[in-house]
Structure 1
Amino acid sequence: MQPRNMSMSGVVDLAAVKAAGEAKAKAEQARVEAARQGGGAAVPPSALVIDVDEAGFERDILQRSAEVPVVIDFWAEWCEPCKQLGPLLERLAAEYNGRFLLAKIDVDANQMLMQQFGIQGIPAVFAVVAGQALPLFQGAAPEAQIRETLDQLIQVAEERFGLTGIAVDAEADAAQAPAAPAAGPYDALLEAAVTALDSGDLAGAVQAYKNVLADDPGHPEAKLGLAQAELLRRVQDMDPQQVRKDAAEKPTDVTAQIAAADLDLVGGHVEDAFGRLVEAARVTSGEDRNAARLRLLELFEVVGTDDPRVTRARGALARVLY
């Protein structure tokens, strides 16, 4: 089935679905085939909302529409009305408990489907019933109007095509959910550190992370947390204007460059911070060079050693030192 280019103005008259008899026969045939293959089992509530792409369109929408009306939400990440409508449709899919299936299609990633359905603006909501596509509404419509449209859709799907929806096993998700992990040996200390950070108690956060590392020196979360807390503690009493002035006037003063690099990183200027310390290591020697190197390694921990900017800066430092 090729989706038709349909008008998106307002809510359509669902009673005007064409080829109802033929579609009903196809739906019945598909249900028989699904039963023969062992289909039709109850689904968990989480299966009532699915993400669909071009590759899975026939399987996830066309074939499923032979057993349940499929409502399609065309959306995009940048679309603010989509962020209002999407959660509402998901909530209604759960509330209607299998009377319809909600398929979400990201138009940015599925341009072909957007063109086939003739989408002119988003959010746009279509339905597919027994292989027949029809538009429902465009934009973030009021909830009462959406409910009325869904009720009409479900009524037509049942009366004209014999689609009564799919069974939902309300306990399936709970049964399949993994058990909550047991509390780790350092969870209380890590939680205390986060609480201290949130309250501005940087010294308390530093101490809590150090308590974890005293027992487990390689604990990744504690290492990252400690590096971040110590950075915040270093910059909290700085005069940014004076620090910038000192760094500009004293390019070979390692203390000035280290302070400016800390400010760079807190301000989100990661590559500036790294570059500043690499340059400080290049123009100095002895203890000053080592101080720049050690601070750079500390900042690597703050950003994360897997970050590509860390990889590049590590290579630049190696070239300076060796």
Structure 2
Amino acid sequence: MEHVTRPDPRKTAALSAALSGAVDLGALKARADAARQQPAAPSAASANGAPAAGQVPWIVDVTEAMFQAVVEQSLQVPVVVHLGAAYSPESQQLGATLEKLAQVSGGSWIFARVDLEQSPRIGQAFGVQSVPTVVAIAAGQPIDAFAGPLGEPEVQQWIARLLDALRDRLPGIRAGEANAGEVPVAEEAPEDPRFVAAEEAFEQGDYAGAQAAYEQILASEPGNELAKEGLAQVKFAARAEAVDPDVIARADAAPDDIDAQLAAADAEIVQQRVEEAFKRLVDTVRRVYGDDRDRVREHLVGLFELFAADDPRVAVARRNLASALY
């Protein structure tokens, strides 16, 4: 059975229309011709975000804040957007396949990973119905897509067809292909003084200072996972000092009180009642809408960051959260 989605004008038009609400495709299109006349080696690091830790610069973890900048890279090379979720084994499998192929691509295409639990509006812009979904963008326009897991040979063939179709239109493809097969070796980075300052403030109980330090890092590097984790720890530590154990009873008596539900979840985490805390907030997400839902979701995702990514309690809660949201 042929699993790879062939270009469909109707699908392409629908994706383009959906994406147009999230990025300025008109402006990108206006610059596309000029970009074709100025070949340049592609680098995802020039987007308003950082490459994934330990990875080559054309492998990028994308957030809503930096999505426009990553899409702009498609003026030079195709951007392959992987829309997945941590709770989905199929997402993890396909993401690993794409990362493996991107590692040796020389930057002839950019692999952009989107965690839909962290950035749900990107998924909404693309009209994602299931995970994983992969969308190819060129010159600011979605041009092809497929949903569901594929084997490595099929993914490789899909990318090869993509590059063949675009090689004469996007100037960075040939430049990247000249380096294909060469995986850059990351040099060990010296200790970052920004993190040293944040950690020292945290250890001294200066939560406001530590939070400000981590937020300053994220202001310039929105994709910095270490800073995100540090910020989550600091925020929770500050809240935990003021936790009132009685808030759990108050929250149980007032299920529509959002502030009480958030505080009660914090109290349950402090008491090592992790599953109860996660369930409380997932149930709250199911009951509320709009800004309240976003607020509860963000609080819950922040609690996830207090634990190891492979913690089974987090995995279960992520699946339940996805079910509540979609």
TM-score (norm 2): 0.44
* TM-score of the two chains, using structure 1 as the length reference: 0.44
